Structure 1
């Protein structure tokens, strides 16, 4: 695993503006809905094999 990507206390966290853009909202909703569909499909498939 690669190391050194995150350095504590480098000061960049205070500079980040952190806007909630339309792209962030759409990407989050898409990821959440795909996760729900995958979980539902896995549950149904497991129950049908019983």
Structure 2
């Protein structure tokens, strides 16, 4: 799936630098970041729900 997002020029430059450093595409880097964020947010929600 493709989406359209607004990213500041400063953040886009930083994103490109990280992508180049770890040798992945910008899209792959964003996809990975979203997956990690969702995973961590899910764990946080479960922890809050069960008081862990």
TM-score normalised over the length of structure 2: 0.53
Q: Which has the higher helix share?
A: 2
Q: Alignment partner for residue 43 of structure 2, among 21, 39, 44?
A: 39
Structure 2 unaligned blocks of 5 or more: 1-22
The higher relative CO (CA closer than 8 Å, separation ≥ 6) is in 2
Task: Point out 4+ residue stretches in structure 1 off by more than 4 angstroms.
Answer: none
Question: How many residues of Structure 1 are paired with residues of Structure 2 in the alignment?
Answer: 29
Query: Does residue 24 of structure 1 match 2:28?
Result: yes
Alignment RMSD (CA, Å): 0.9
TM-score normalised over the length of structure 1: 0.55
Structure showing greater radius of gyration is 1
